[in-house]
Structure 1
C-alpha cells in the first residue's frame, strides 16, 4: 500500500508510481468521488469527453429528448 502525508496547508504529494499509473502530471485535474461514508476514490480527470465516444457501443433503441424528460419527470414524481 502506498501512502502520503498531508501538509499543514492540506496538500499531499501523489507518489510517482501512482502518478505514472494514472497518467497525470503537473497541472492535471484530479476528482475526489465519495464511494461510501468516510471513503473516497480519486480519479484522474485528464480525458476529454470525446475520448468516451464508442465506449459503450451503439444504442439498441433510439430515445428522444422528450422521452428522456418524461422518464426523468416520472421517476422524480415517484421519489416523492
Structure 2
C-alpha cells in the first residue's frame, strides 16, 4: 500500500493569491482606466491638476479628466488604495 503526504500551507497560498490578484488589478487599471472611469463621467473627483494644482477634476469619457479651473485635460493614472 502506498502513502502520500502533502504539506499545504493555506496562509502562504492565500498570501500569494492575494498578491497575484492585486498585481492583475493594478495592471488592468493602468492599461484601461476607462473601464472604471466611464461609470463616473461628469462627476467631480479629488485629484491634482498637473497644470494649475487644482485639487478637483471632472471625469471625461475614455479615461481622461479635465480641470474646471484651467481647462487642462489629461489621461488618468489610477492607483488603488489597498487598505
TM-score (norm 1): 0.20
Higher relative contact order (CA 8 A, sep 6+): 2
TM-score (norm 2): 0.19
